[in-house]
Amino acid sequence: MPVGTQATVKTQSHRELEELGAEIILGNTYHLYLRPGADLIAKAGGLHNFSSWNKPMLTDSGGYQVFSLKALNKITDQGVEFQSHIDGSRHIFTPENVVETQRKLGADITMPLDVCTEYPAEKRRAAKDAARTLEWVNRAKAKWLENTTDQVLFGIIQGSIYEDLRQQCLEDILAIDFPGLAIGGLSVGEPKEDLIRILDFLAPLLPESKPRHLLGVGTPEDLLDGVFYGIDMFDCVMPTRNARNGTIFTRRGKMTIKAAAYAEDFRPIDPECGCAACRNYTRAYIRHLLSVGEILGLRLTTAHNLYFYIHLMKSIRLAIKENRYSAFRNQILMNLGIGSESLY
Q: pLDDT by residue (tens digit) across 205-221?
A: 999 999 999 999 999 99
Q: What pLDDT is recorded for position 344? A: 47
Q: Percentage of the chain with pLDDT > 90? A: 94
Q: What residues contact residue 119 under an 8 Å CB cut-off, 6+ apart?
A: 160, 161, 185, 188, 189, 190
pLDDT for residue 69:
83
At 116, is the secondary structure helix, strand, or coil?
coil
Closest alpha carbon to 135 in 119, 153, 158:
158
- Residues involved in catalysis: 60, 235
Report, as an integer, the average pLDDT of 163-191: 97
Residue 3: DSSP 8-state = B
Q: Give residue-wise pLDDT tens across range 217-234.
A: 999 999 999 999 999 999
- What's the mean pLDDT in 110-138? 97
Band the pLDDT of 143: cuts 50, 70, 90: very high
Query: Please, which pLDDT band fits residue 340 given cuts at 50, 70 and 90?
Result: low
Alpha-helical (H) ranges within 92-180 are: 95-105, 123-144, 163-176
For residue 120, say if its preceding peptide bond is cis, omega within 30 degrees of 0: yes
Domains and CATH numbers, the chain: 14-236 (3.20.20.105), 247-342 (no CATH)
What confidence tier does 14 reach under pLDDT thresholds 50, 70, 90? very high
pLDDT higher than threshold 70 for residue 342 = no
In this prediction, residue 148 carries a pLDDT of 72
